[in-house]
């Protein structure tokens, strides 16, 4: 009989059902599961204490921060788990290297969708509690990727602003990989897998993203996935940033 992973009941959204996403190289774990791993908390903490990572992901004006492990966990639980996953069943995923476990997958189903864009990337989802526990028993975390309602990060709307599109047409993509793993295509692989899940399992139709104006690395990643630069700054309204969109459904 399958068993469900042991989760911190006080933090887990009531409708959350454990699962993980797999690609050839990655284990992609929803944060309601990943936060139960002390090593994921440490990885997330170390990323935001790394100035190179912060500049790449958030811009040169964003300074690295020194959170304690308790503060790091509170930030993840307080917003990503407690708001994004709880309200919309969308949010961040912890990203780990799959080959570290060296384990064959016994129970999984292939996610269809984005056939042209994925270019051979096989994405699977594992929903058996025993299989989830087995695969994430000793992960080597390298970053995160996720999808969320863009209203969580854009400025407050003004009466003069155009109306926002429906939820499934305003989903923000975000991702961050430890600098030691840059240049290996892992950010793109994680993002594509999460996108495929969002489209197939959650009915997401359009993705949005924003980059700093001089962040050519992130711009290339988005363009290779299928994003196109949007005219104007309709969502984040920051002239120093570029906004991107991709209709996937």
In the chain, what are the domain boundaries?
20-247
Distance CA 78, CA 73 (A): 8
Would you give per-residue pLDDT tens digits along the chain (249 residues)? Answer: 333 444 444 578 888 999 999 998 999 999 999 999 999 999 999 999 988 888 777 777 777 889 999 999 999 999 999 999 999 999 999 999 986 445 567 678 988 766 544 556 889 999 988 889 888 888 999 999 999 999 999 999 999 998 999 999 999 999 999 999 999 999 999 999 999 999 999 999 999 999 887 778 888 889 999 999 998 888 988 878 899 999 998
pTM (2 decimals)?
A: 0.89
Cross-strand bridge partners of residue 140: 97
Cα dihedral 54→199→154→47 (10° resolution): -10
CB 34 within 8 A of CB 72: no
| Of 129, 98, 110, residue with least CA distance to 7 | 129
Q: Give the pLDDT confidence score for residue 50 in this predicted structure.
A: 87
Q: Give the pLDDT confidence score for residue 184 in this predicted structure.
A: 94
Q: Give the pLDDT confidence score for residue 199 in this predicted structure.
A: 96
Q: Give the pLDDT confidence score for residue 5 in this predicted structure.
A: 41
Q: What own/partner pairs with CB < 8 Å and gap ≥ 24 does 127-132 have? A: 127/17, 127/18, 127/19, 128/2, 129/2, 129/3, 129/4, 129/5, 129/18, 130/2, 130/3, 131/2, 131/105, 131/106, 131/107, 132/5, 132/18, 132/19, 132/20, 132/33
3-state secondary structure of 115: helix
- The domain defined by 20-247 folds into Aminopeptidase (3.40.630)
Helix (H) or strand (E) run with residue 117 in it: helix 115-118
Q: Give the pLDDT confidence score for residue 85 in this predicted structure.
A: 96
Q: Give the pLDDT confidence score for residue 105 in this predicted structure.
A: 73
Q: Give the pLDDT confidence score for residue 1 in this predicted structure.
A: 33
Number of Cβ atoms within 10 Å of the Cβ of 33: 23
CB 86 within 8 A of CB 13: yes
């Amino acid at each position: 009989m399958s068993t469900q992973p042991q989760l911190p009941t006080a933090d887990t959204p009531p409708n959350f059902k454990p699962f993980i996403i797999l690609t050839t190289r990655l284990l992609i774990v929803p944060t309601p599961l990943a936060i139960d791993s002390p090593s994921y908390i440490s990885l997330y903490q170390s990323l935001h204490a790394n100035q190179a990572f912060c500049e790449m992901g958030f811009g040169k004006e964003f300074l690295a921060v020194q959170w304690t492990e308790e503060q790091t966990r509170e930030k993840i639980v307080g917003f990503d788990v407690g708001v994004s996953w709880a309200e919309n069943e969308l949010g961040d995923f912890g990203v780990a290297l799959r080959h570290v476990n060296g384990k064959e997958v016994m129970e999984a189903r292939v996610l269809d969708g984005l056939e042209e864009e994925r270019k051979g990337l096989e994405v699977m989802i594992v929903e058996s509690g025993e299989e989830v526990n087995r695969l994430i028993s000793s992960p080597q975390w390298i970053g995160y990727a996720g999808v969320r309602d863009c209203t969580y990060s854009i400025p407050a709307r003004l009466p003069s602003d155009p109306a926002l599109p429906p939820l499934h047409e305003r989903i923000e993509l975000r991702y961050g990989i430890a600098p030691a793993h840059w240049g290996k295509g892992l950010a793109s692989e994680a993002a594509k897998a999460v996108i495929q899940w969002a489209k197939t399992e959650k009915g997401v139709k359009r993705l949005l993203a924003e980059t700093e104006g001089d962040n050519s690395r992130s711009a290339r990643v988005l363009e290779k996935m299928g994003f196109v630069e949007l005219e104007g700054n309709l969502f984040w309204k920051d002239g120093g940033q570029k906004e991107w969109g991709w209709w996937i459904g």
